[in-house]
């Protein structure tokens, strides 16, 4: 359960929702477009990844992401490529 008061009301956040992803005119899904951009090095993601965790350390990864002070983005490695 999320403590709505702590995370939303005290910080006076505005929450906007979205459902799924859209299809682009060339019939690619938004996620696939993102993956293609990262693979082609057109988008550099390393500068925004603060920490990389193994899957077994997921609790620490979520704690770091929740901290927000010293973390931009947290990556959890799920498999070896």
Structure-block tokens of residue 37:
């951009």
Neighbours of 61 (CB within 10 A): 19
In a domain, 55, yes or no: yes
Domain count, the chain: 1
pLDDT at 29: 77
In a domain, 17, yes or no: no
pTM for the full model? 0.51
Strands (E), 1-81: 49-54, 73-77
In a domain, 52, yes or no: yes
27 Cα distance to chain centroid: 24
pLDDT at 18: 62
User: For the chain, what is the radius of gyration of the CA atoms?
Assistant: 16
Q: Provide the residue range defining the domain that includes 68.
A: 41-81
Determine contact, residues 52/43, Cβ cutoff 8 Å. no
Determine contact, residues 10/2, Cβ cutoff 8 Å. no
In a domain, 64, yes or no: yes
Q: How high is the mean pLDDT in each 10-residue block of the chain (81 residues)?
A: 71 69 69 87 89 91 83 82 54
pLDDT at 48: 86
């Amino acid at each position: 359960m999320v403590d709505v008061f702590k995370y939303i009301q005290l910080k006076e956040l505005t929450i906007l929702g979205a459902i799924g992803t859209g299809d682009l005119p060339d019939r690619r899904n938004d996620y696939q477009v993102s993956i293609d951009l990262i693979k082609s090095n057109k988008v550099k993601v390393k500068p925004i990844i603060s920490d990389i965790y193994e899957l077994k350390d997921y609790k620490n990864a979520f704690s770091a992401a929740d901290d927000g002070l010293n973390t931009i983005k947290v990556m959890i490695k799920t498999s070896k490529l």
